[in-house]
Amino acid sequence: MQDFSIMRIAVGALMVFTVFPVRQYARNWMAVKLGDDTPEKEGKLTLNPFAHADLFGIVFMILIGFGWGRSATINPSNFKCKNKKLGMLAVSLAGPVSNLLFAFIMSFLYVLAGYLKWGSTALQIISYIMILNLNLALFLLLPVPGFDGGDILMQFLPAKFLWKISPYLRYISLGLILLILFGPLRGIIGIAVQYVAYFLLNISDLICSLFFR
């Protein structure tokens, strides 16, 4: 159990220095491609983990498997596309999509490792990285202000409603985060992660079975 906890902390730290930069870069890259150079000006169009580090997000990621990085400022008014909301939707989805792709790669490695008879430690590390990626993707897709899911939701809410609730967004975010960490939402996320992981592993096994018979 102690060895597993040490490994979990080590893998969580690895995630902070690999997965967080990738997801933040994906989000910033999408914004720049759409015409907003703000992430570039802020020095966040980079894979340097320290450019995206958030102290509380790092601690949460290492200890409980949920966390976040520090996002660049995105200015939709700079987007070249006519539909600014659609552009912001693409930016908001870029991060979770990068996590899901990372999780799929890990699921493929997990299945491949089984075929190649790799050791149990390698399998455990790969599976944990996969689960952490899925946790991160689904966690940040929740409709919490400041999260990817919150940014997505904002694109569909009336401007008048957003103006009225804007003074309370910080408190709404805190309340929802507490529900996620200590309430039933955490269990729901866990169940969703299991289903997505099962789906990815089945797809990976189908691919690997074409080469290993």
What's the pLDDT tens digit per position in 28-39? 999 999 999 999
| Predicted confidence (pLDDT) at residue 145 exceeds the cutoff of 90 | no
Q: Quick one: which of 42, 4, 176, 155 has its CA closest to 90?
A: 155
Please report, for residues 1, 82, 123, 154, 204, the alpha-carbon distance to residue 34 in angstroms, rounded to integers and kept in the order given: 47, 10, 39, 19, 33
Q: Yes or no: say if 82 and 141 are a contact pair by the CB < 8 Å rule.
A: no
Task: List, for residues 37-83, the tens digit of each pLDDT value.
Answer: 999 888 888 888 888 877 777 777 777 666 677 777 888 889 998 88
- Average pLDDT for the chain: 83
